[in-house]
């Protein structure tokens, strides 16, 4: 399934804005009608205005439905994000209301054009057009709350990270302030993307690095707090969704210096919970901020814990960590020398 481009979700107009858009298109269409006979000219104009206005409304509403993500086609991670941020059921119900309105307007257009054929006076032509306009406005007013909800949801969802399910993903977890964002920035080949999580000022960092033409994604999680699952808030549940659904491997970052304010016993308790939660997903424990404990770039392992030792701020231990991650993920392991691994990025041969 392709990655969701959250920023491309279209803006949702409100009922009066939609009607203005439809009226404008209908007026332009009517001005194109040319018939020397007033009776036939007005009849053609009113027909054109009904058809054009309803087409604009129906097409716009259906475009929103089609361009919004389909829950049935989302990755578990993206579906979990929607559920945590705006709710799956409201998402379905409000999009369903828009689809209902599009169907009603289609029916109103066909009915209006059919009845126009039975009218015999210019005044009846105008009345029929006004009647269709009024019914369309009434239908849009009925879904006004749905349109407002969708517009608010769009503003939240467009800040979601785009995670490609076809590429390996390294989820970086750990207690708050242990250096997760600094690690992603240090390992990334470019400037990491920074996304706002809904309902909070916290930021989600998504970085990438490339190895043998394959993109490796790195995503941090908001600081998971060491407390029971039932006490976690929506933001923490999103972090858990990331851990459960997108990680090819999880890096659990420890701060042995405790400079971030998290005692080691708290970090170790959280590590136990994360490991149990992930099940079959491998967890690589890494000790960061090792420069604060007096280690140097010659120390690849923390002698006290036996964990991989790094310092994101000083830049040492990072290449070794990257190599270990690539090896453990094994995305490019070749079982059949005649076939490339799944998801291999092919480059077009020059002409």
Strand duo 214-220 + 249-254: pairing: unpaired
Which of 129, 157, 185 is where one domain is finished? 157
The predicted structure's pLDDT at residue 176: 83
The predicted structure's pLDDT at residue 224: 60
pTM: 0.74
The residues, any chain, with a CB within 8 Å of residue 218's CB and separated by 6 or more, are 169, 170, 172, 184, 187, 188, 192, 205, 206, 207, 208, 209
Residue 173 covered by a domain: yes
The predicted structure's pLDDT at residue 82: 87
Residue 218 covered by a domain: yes
Buried b (16+ CB within 10 A) or exposed e, 202-228: bebbbbbbebeebbbbbbbbbbbbbee
Residue 195 covered by a domain: yes
The closest of 68, 131, 53 to 98, measured between CA atoms, is: 68
The predicted structure's pLDDT at residue 200: 38
Rounded Cα gap, residues 322 and 326, in angstroms: 6
The residues, any chain, with a CB within 8 Å of residue 295's CB and separated by 6 or more, are 302, 309, 311
How large is the greatest C-alpha to C-alpha distance in the chain, in angstroms? 96
Burial class (CB in 10 A: 0-12, 13-18, 19+), 349: exposed
Residue 153 covered by a domain: yes
The predicted structure's pLDDT at residue 221: 74
- Expressed as residue numbers, the domain containing 153 is 6-157
The residues, any chain, with a CB within 8 Å of residue 269's CB and separated by 6 or more, are 226
pLDDT digits (tens, 9 = 90+) for 139-159: 999 999 999 999 999 998 888
Query: Treating both helix axes as pointing N-terminal to C-terminal, what angle do 88-116 and 38-67 enclose, rounded to 10 degrees?
Result: 170
CA 22 to chain centre: 30
Rounded Cα gap, residues 196 and 157, in angstroms: 10
Residue 345 covered by a domain: no
Residue 33 Ramachandran class (φ > 0 left, ψ -120 to 50 alpha, else beta): beta
Q: In total, how many domains does the chain have?
A: 2
- 108 and 191 co-located in one domain: no
Residue 280 covered by a domain: yes
Q: Please identify every stretch of the chain with a pLDDT value under 70, giving residue numbers as ranges.
A: 1, 190, 192-204, 222-229, 234-239, 241-243, 334-351
Rounded Cα gap, residues 27 and 47, in angstroms: 12
- 174 and 151 co-located in one domain: no
Residues 330 and 282 sit within 8 Å (Cβ to Cβ): no
pLDDT digits (tens, 9 = 90+) for 54-108: 999 999 999 999 999 998 888 878 887 888 788 899 999 999 999 999 999 999 9
Residue 70 covered by a domain: yes
Domain with residue 75: its CATH number is 1.20.120.1190
Residues 311 and 289 sit within 8 Å (Cβ to Cβ): yes
- 190 and 217 co-located in one domain: yes
The predicted structure's pLDDT at residue 76: 78
- 183 and 286 co-located in one domain: yes
Domain with residue 246: its CATH number is 3.40.50.300
Residue 242 covered by a domain: yes
- 137 and 203 co-located in one domain: no
């Amino acid at each position: 399934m392709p990655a969701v481009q959250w920023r491309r979700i279209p803006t949702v107009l409100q009922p009066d804005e939609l009607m203005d858009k439809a009226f404008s298109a209908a007026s332009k269409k009517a001005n194109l009608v040319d018939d020397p006979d007033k009776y036939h000219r007005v009849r053609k104009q009113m027909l054109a205005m009904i058809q054009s206005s309803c087409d604009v409304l129906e097409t716009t509403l259906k475009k929103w439905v089609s361009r919004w993500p389909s829950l049935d086609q989302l990755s578990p991670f993206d579906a979990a994000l929607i559920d945590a941020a705006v709710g799956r059921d409201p998402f379905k119900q409000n999009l369903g209301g828009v689809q209902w309105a599009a169907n009603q307007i289609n029916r109103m257009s066909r009915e209006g054009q059919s009845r126009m054929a039975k009218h015999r006076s210019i005044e009846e032509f105008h009345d029929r057009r006004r009647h269709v306009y009024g019914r369309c406005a009434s239908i849009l007013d009925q879904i006004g709350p749905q349109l407002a909800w969708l517009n608010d949801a769009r503003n939240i969802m467009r800040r979601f990270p785009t995670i490609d399910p076809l590429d390996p993903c390294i989820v970086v977890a750990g207690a708050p302030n242990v250096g997760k964002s600094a690690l992603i920035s240090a390992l990334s080949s470019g400037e990491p993307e920074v996304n706002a999580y809904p309902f909070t000022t916290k930021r989600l960092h998504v970085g990438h690095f490339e190895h043998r033409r394959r993109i490796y994604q790195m995503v941090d999680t908001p600081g998971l707090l060491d407390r029971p699952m039932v006490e976690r808030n929506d933001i923490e549940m999103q972090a858990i969704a990331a851990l459960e659904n997108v990680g090819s491997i999880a890096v659990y970052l420890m701060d042995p210096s405790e400079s971030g304010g998290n005692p080691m016993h708290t970090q170790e308790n959280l590590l136990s919970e994360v490991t149990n939660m992930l099940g079959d997903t491998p967890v690589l424990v890494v000790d960061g901020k090792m420069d604060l404990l007096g280690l140097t770039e010659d120390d690849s392992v923390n002698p006290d814990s036996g964990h991989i030792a790094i310092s994101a701020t000083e830049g040492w231990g990072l290449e070794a960590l990257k190599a270990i991650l690539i090896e453990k993920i094994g995305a490019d392991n070749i079982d059949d020398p005649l076939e490339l691994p799944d998801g291999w990025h092919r480059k077009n041969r020059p002409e």
